[in-house]
Amino acid sequence: MTAMIELRNAEKTFVMHLQGGIRLPVMHGVTFDVNAGECVVLSGPSGAGKSSILKMIFGNYRCDGGTITVRHLGTFVDVASAEPRQILSVRRDTIGYVSQFLRAVPRVAAIDVVAEPLLNAGVSREEAHARAGALLKRLNIGERLWQLPPSTFSGGEQQRVNIARGFISDLPILLLDEPTASLDAANRAVVVDLVAEKKRADVAMVAIVHDDEVRHLIADRLIDVTSFAAAA
Ligand SMILES: Nc1ncnc2c1ncn2[C@@H]1O[C@H](COP(=O)(O)OP(=O)(O)OP(=O)(O)O)[C@@H](O)[C@H]1O
């Protein structure tokens, strides 16, 4: 395997336990690769299953069939069948996930929220804070906000703190779930630059982006997920 992520016939059916066990087949035959240094963008209409595919790769949603193999610390792990302990290890050292919303812990300063992934990876406090500050500055979060908890920030400010937290780590795989959704043009351009830098650092990315212009700028390949739709 040369790819960083290899999906083979992954499938997902939701079972609605509170509705008498109704089965909702969402997709099957999900098959594609993501190589180091490329950004694959998932496309398709609302409800087609884009977010579900990201969540399957991140191990949030269990697959009902197929394999999702990721390169993890020199070995291969099938996240479709991995134990929770292994999934946590993959998240610590291999896969980062940038969602649209920040899950801010109350009373933790923005700079610490952003620096945390580096501190967890063993980077010194001084370096982690320096890198966090530099990223916040690039994303136009003024220094006066750095020591404040982001729970009181505007939606767009919170999203930028979240982006900084997601992009700060040196993980080899990054999943981006609408990272530019509520950003203005200047900050969208910063995110486009950050994605380009990750490509140069050989990071493999899978993204969902609704903005046509951003999609065009970051996508090396588009995958239309409607081809994986399961017959209802
Ligand atoms: N946890 C869940 N339980 C039940 N059904 C779910 C769950 N998550 C997703 N689905 C269903 O799976 C389908 C695909 O949803 P998904 O969020 O992956 O689509 P999407 O392409 O990302 O849509 P959007 O562009 O609107 O975000 C939808 O019909 C949705 O209702």
% of the chain with per-residue pLDDT over 70: 98
Closest ligand 1 atom to Cα of 54: 18
Closest ligand 1 atom to Cα of 55: 18
Closest ligand 1 atom to Cα of 61: 1
Closest ligand 1 atom to Cα of 12: 12
List ligand 1's pocket residues with C-beta within 6 A.
14, 24, 26, 44, 46-52
CB burial string 49-84: b at 16+ within 10 A, e below: bbbbbbbbbbbebebbebbbbbbbeeeebebbebee
16 found inside a domain? no
11 found inside a domain? no
Whether 17 and 198 have beta carbons less than 8 Å apart is answered as no
Closest ligand 1 atom to Cα of 42: 21
Report the alpha-carbon distance of residue 128 to residue 219 in Å, rounded. 29
Give the mean model confidence (pLDDT) for residues 153-178: 93
Cβ-based neighbours of 112, under 8 Å, separated by 6 or more: 132
pLDDT at 144 over 80: yes
30 found inside a domain? no
Probe target for ligand 1 pocket from 11, 12, 14, with the most ligand atoms within 8 Å of CB: 14
10 found inside a domain? no
Cβ-based neighbours of 227, under 8 Å, separated by 6 or more: 29
Q: How far is the CA of 52 from the centre of ligand 1 (A)?
A: 6
Cβ neighbours of 212 (radius 10 Å): 8
3 found inside a domain? no
The pLDDT score that the predictor gives to residue 26 is: 84
Give the mean model confidence (pLDDT) for residues 184-205: 96
pLDDT at 110 over 60: yes
Domain CATH code at residue 52 = 3.40.50.300
The pLDDT score that the predictor gives to residue 97 is: 93
The pLDDT score that the predictor gives to residue 199 is: 97
78 found inside a domain? yes
Minimum mean pLDDT among 34-48, 101-115, 216-230: which range? 101-115
The pLDDT score that the predictor gives to residue 230 is: 79
Whether 88 and 142 have beta carbons less than 8 Å apart is answered as no
Nearest to 141 by CA among 169, 179, 183, 195: 183
Give the mean model confidence (pLDDT) for residues 132-137: 97
% of the chain with per-residue pLDDT over 90: 76
Residue nearest to atom 1 of ligand 1 (CA): 14
Probe target for ligand 1 pocket from 41, 52, 225, with the most ligand atoms within 8 Å of CB: 52
pLDDT in tens, 28-46: 999 999 999 999 999 999 8
Give the mean model confidence (pLDDT) for residues 8-12: 94
pLDDT at 105 over 80: no
Probe target for ligand 1 pocket from 23, 50, 211, with the most ligand atoms within 8 Å of CB: 50
Q: How many domains would you assign to the chain?
A: 1
Q: How far is the CA of 131 from the centre of ligand 1 (A)?
A: 35
Q: Mean pLDDT of all residues in the chain?
A: 92
* Residue 133 pLDDT grade (very low, low, confident, very high; cuts 50, 70, 90): very high
The pLDDT score that the predictor gives to residue 231 is: 63
210 found inside a domain? yes
Report the alpha-carbon distance of residue 35 to residue 53 in Å, rounded. 17
The pLDDT score that the predictor gives to residue 113 is: 94
Report the alpha-carbon distance of residue 199 to residue 53 in Å, rounded. 21
Report the alpha-carbon distance of residue 169 to residue 184 in Å, rounded. 24
Probe target for ligand 1 pocket from 19, 24, 222, with the most ligand atoms within 8 Å of CB: 24
140 found inside a domain? yes
The pLDDT score that the predictor gives to residue 229 is: 85
Give one word for 29, left, alpha or beta, with left for phi > 0 and alpha for psi -120 to 50: left
pLDDT at 232 over 70: no
Q: Which domain holds residue 92?
A: 36-64+74-225
* Residue 20 pLDDT grade (very low, low, confident, very high; cuts 50, 70, 90): confident
